[in-house]
Amino acid sequence: MVGSLLYAAVSTRPDIAEAVGALAKFNACPTQTHLTTAKQVMRYLKGTKDLCLNFRKQGKPMVEYTDVDNASDADRHSKSGAVFINAGCSISWSSKRQSVVDLSTTESEYIALFDGVVECMRLRQLFSDIGTTQPNSTIIFVDNRSTAAITNSQKTSKRTKHIDAKNHYVREAIEAGDVCTEFRWPNDNIADIFMKPLPRDRFVKFKDILSLS
């Protein structure tokens, strides 16, 4: 069941990515609760089977949203969420557990940003290969002011020394004009849908922005 749900979550249904990712963690030792939850996701898909991703000609450049649910797992690992919007529609998204335990919210946000920049560079190269080069920097929206600040600063502090390797990669991408970061209030960061269960109104709002209709 989880394998089938993963296929939908990865291919055309970003709205179930967080729920399916959470279920996948228990594949080795599922309980009745997990089976019930998987059935609930199936029922949701059955009730929304007419939803699909819709592209619209807008003339707007690709943008990305990244966010983090800090230390959300029992072992204190954070969860990252990211989504790229192009032609008014989601074209790439992820909901995953970070591989390392971070030491601060800023660090966890920066790890998510680093992963987002790596995927951004891959997509920009893909667009270039098919003849639709992105002329401007790709804006990456983050909802942590400290993260946005350190990406645009050349200064290194004791609190950011240990993330310098990733820090340099992000800064180089910014200096090359490939990406730039902007602050976005948490309530408007649609990457939130990839990290945790949301109230119905916010879930519906973000689902619509993902262009699932």
The tens digit of pLDDT for each residue in 146-166 reads 888 877 766 555 555 556 667
The CATH T-level fold of domain 63-191 is Nucleotidyltransferase; domain 5 (3.30.420)
**The model scores a pTM over 0.85:** yes
Tokens of 183: 């602050």
Angle at 172 between CA 169 and CA 177, to 5 degrees: 130
Give the separation between CA 206 and CA 191, rounded to whole angstroms: 8
Q: Would the pLDDT of 167 be above 80? A: no
- Of 66-70, 72-76, 106-110, 147-151, least confident by mean pLDDT is 72-76
Residue 130's contacts (CB-CB under 8 Å, 6 or more residues apart) are none
The tens digit of pLDDT for each residue in 78-108 reads 889 999 999 999 999 999 888 777 667 788 8
Domain extent listing, the chain: 2-52, 63-191
Give the separation between CA 58 and CA 56, rounded to whole angstroms: 6
